[in-house]
Structure 1
Amino acid sequence: MGDLVTGEAVVLDLRVAQLASRAVAFAIDVAVQFGLLLLVFLLAPVDLDSALATAVGLTLLIAVMIGLPTAVETATRGRSLGKLAMGLRVVRDDGGAIRFRHALVRALGGFVVDFWVLGLAGAIALFVSLFSPQGKRVGDYLAGTVVIHVRVPKQEVELATMPPQLAEWAAGLDLSQLPEELVLAARQYLSRYHELNEQARWDLGSRLSNDVGVAVRSPRLEYTHPHPYLSAVLAERRRRAS
C-alpha cells in the first residue's frame, strides 16, 4: 500500500504500483511506439532530400514518443495500453484523475530525463523509482502524479451495503463513466469512515460525492449524507458486476 493524501489532508492507502509491473507496462508501450515508428519509416517516401527527411523524422519521433502517450493518457484518464494490460492507472497525488497537463509533463519528463535523451535507456527512471516510497520517476515528480493498481484483490474490496431507501434510485444510474480511481477513493473512504473525525467525514465525503455525482449524472441531494450516497453507488456497481 502507498499513502495518498487528499486535498483535505486525509490519507488514502491506495495500492501504489510496484516497479516490476510498471516495467512490464513500459515495455509494452515502448514496443507499440517503436512498432509505429518502424511502420511509418517503412511507408515513407525514399526520394526525400536529407534535410527534409531529418525534419520529418524528428517530427514523427516527437509525435510518437511525446504526443501519442500524452493523447492516450489524457483520453483514457491515465491508462496506456501497457497500463491497461497490467491493471495500472496514473492518478494525481491526491488520488484524482489526471488531465492534459499532467500527461504532457509526464511524457516530456519521460522522453527527456527518465528514458531517452538524458535517461540512459531508463537508468535514471530506475534509480529514482528505487528511492521513491511511491515508485515515482522524475516525470511523476514533475507532474505531481503516481501510478496505482486498479485491480484490487477481492479480500481487500470494501463491500458497501445498499441503503434500502436508495436502491430504486441506484438501479437507474448510468455507471459507465464512473472512473476506477474514483471508485477506489470512495471505497477507501467507506472502509476508513469510522477512523475519520466528523469534519473529515463530511468534507472528504462531500468532495467524493460531488465527483461521483458528475460521473453518474445524478448529484447527491443536499440532505443526503455522503456515506449512504457512496454506499449506494458502489453497491449497485458491485451488483451489476456480479
Structure 2
Amino acid sequence: MNSSATPPASRAGGANPYATSATRDAGPGQPGEPAAADRAGPAGSGGSGGSGGAGRSGGAGRASSAGGTTAPSDPFRPVGLPTDLIVTGEAVALEARPAMLLSRVGSGLIDVAVQGLGGALVLIIGLSLASNTAQANTAMILALVTAIVLIPTTVETITRGLSAGKVATGVRIVREDGGPVRFRQAFVRALAGAIEIWVSFGSLAIITSLVNARGKRLGDLLAGTYAVRSRSGTGVRAPLLMPPDLAAWAERADIRRLPAAPALHARIFLSRTSSMRPEPRQQAAQALAAAIEPYVAPPPPWGTHPERFLAAVLVARRDREYAAATRRQATEHEEAERMRHLPYGIADWS
C-alpha cells in the first residue's frame, strides 16, 4: 500500500466520477443533479442507515448555515459537517460544540451563589475569631479572595473543568485542544472573573461571549479555554460495515494514504447521515467522494453511490491498518523473545 498522500496526476479509469456527476448540468460552484446511476442507496454502515434520501433529491439545494456547518464549496469541509472539530495528538476527532449563552449564564448564577456561600462562611468564622478591627478587615479580604479566586480555581482544577453550576447545566470547560483544564487555566479564568463577573456584574462576560464565535468570555480568551456541551444524545457511533457489492473491488484496490481532513470528515459524515436533510446529505457525500476518489485506484464501479464508496474505502483502510499493526506487533514480540535468549554456546547459569 503506497504511503504517499499526493494524488496521482493520471491513472487508468478516466475522470473522477463523483466530480463529473456533481458538476453535470450545473454552473461553477453549483451542485448539479446527480446521475441516475448514483442513486443506488446509502452506504452499508450502521450509523448511516435511514431512508436513503441522500440520493433522491435533485437540484441545487441550499443548506442552512446555522449550528456551525460549512458551505458546500469546500470539499474538505462539506456542508452538514461541524466547523469546530478538534483533532487531538492521537489523531482523534472530537466534535465539541460550544455551550449556549443561556446555559453559561445559568451556570454562572449557580456558581456565584455557591461561591458567595463559601465566602460568607469564611467571613463568619473570621469575624468570630477577630478581636480587633484589623483582624476583621483581614477576615473580609480573605472571604473575598476565597469566594472570587480560591473556590473556582480549586473546584475547576480538581474536577477538570466542572463546577456545581456547570454540572447542573451540562457545561464543561476544556482547553483549545479539547483537553481538561489545569491549575493555570483555572487560575487565569478566576482572576479574569473577578472583573468581568463580580465587578461588572457579568455584563462584560456576556458582551464578550456574544461577539465571540465560540462564546468565550474574557477569561477564556486569556486562558485558552472555552465552554462545551457535556451532555449530548449522539451515543456511541456504530461501526462501519463493508458494502457487500464493493468487497471484491476494495480487496484489490490500491488505497493511498488519505489526508487527515477528508478522512476524518468522511467518518463523521457517515455517522450523521440519518440526521441530515436529503439535499445537504447528497452534497456532502458528493464532495467527500470527489475529494477521496483520486487516492484510490482503480476507481469504484461506475454508478457506485458516494456513501457506499466512502464506507468501502474507510473500512478497507481500517482493516489493512489493523492487519499491518498486528503483523508489526507479532514481529516485535518475536524479536523480543530472541533478545532474551543467550547466544549459542553460552551456558545459562541463572
Aligned partner (choices 159, 184, 188) of residue 101 of structure 1: 184
1:223 to 288, 312, 325: 325
SS where residue 96 of structure 2 aligns? coil
RMSD over aligned CA atoms reads 3.4
Report which of the two has the higher share of helix. 1
Percent identity over paired residues: 39
1:29 aligns with 2:111: yes
Quickly say closer, same or farther: Cα 1:48–1:142, change in 2 above 3 A: same
| Residues 13 and 188 in structure 1, CA contact (< 8 A), matched pair in contact too | no
* Counterpart selection for 2:235 from 146, 150, 157: 157
Larger Rg: 2
Instruction: State how far apart, in whole Å, the 2-side matches of 1:157 and 1:190 are.
Output: 15
- Structure 1, unmatched stretches of 5+, are 164-186, 199-221, 225-242
Question: Would the alpha carbon gap of residues 159 and 12 (structure 1) be closer, same or farther in structure 2, given more than 3 Å must change?
Answer: closer
Q: Normalization by structure 1: what TM-score?
A: 0.62
* Partner of residue 85 from structure 1, selected from 168, 185, 189: 168
Structure 1 67/40 Cα, relative in aligned 2: closer, same or farther at 3 Å?
closer
Q: How does 1:59-138 map to 2 (within 5 A)?
A: 59-112=142-195, 114-117=196-199, 120-138=200-218
| CA distance in structure 1 between the partners assigned to 2:117 and 2:266 by the alignment | 42
Cα deviation 1:178-206 (Å, max 9, x = unaligned) = xxxxxxxxx999525896989xxxxxxxx
Q: What per-residue deviation string (whole Å, max 9, x for no partner) do you get for residues 106-151 of structure 1?
A: 1111113x1123xx11111111111111111000000000100011
- Distance in 1 (CA, whole Å) between partners of 2:266 and 2:97 is 14
Greater relative contact order (CA < 8 Å, ≥ 6 in sequence): 2
Contact 2:123 / 2:143 at 8 angstroms: preserved in 1?
no
Of 125, 130, 133, the match for 1:50: 133
Paired with 1:71 and 1:151, the residues of 2 have a C-alpha distance of 23
Note closer, same or farther for the CA distance 1:157–1:47 as it changes in structure 2 (3 Å cut): closer
CA-to-aligned-CA distance 1:34-65 (integer Å, 9 cap, x gap): 11222333343175322221122112211221
Superposed, 1:3-14 pairs within 5 Å as: 3-6=84-87, 12-14=94-96
C-alpha contact (below 8 Å) 1:78/1:97 kept by paired residues: yes
Contact 2:123 2:139 (8 Å CA) reproduced? no
Kept in 1: contact 2:118–2:146 (CA 8 A): no
- How far has the Cα of 1:88 moved from its partner? 0.9
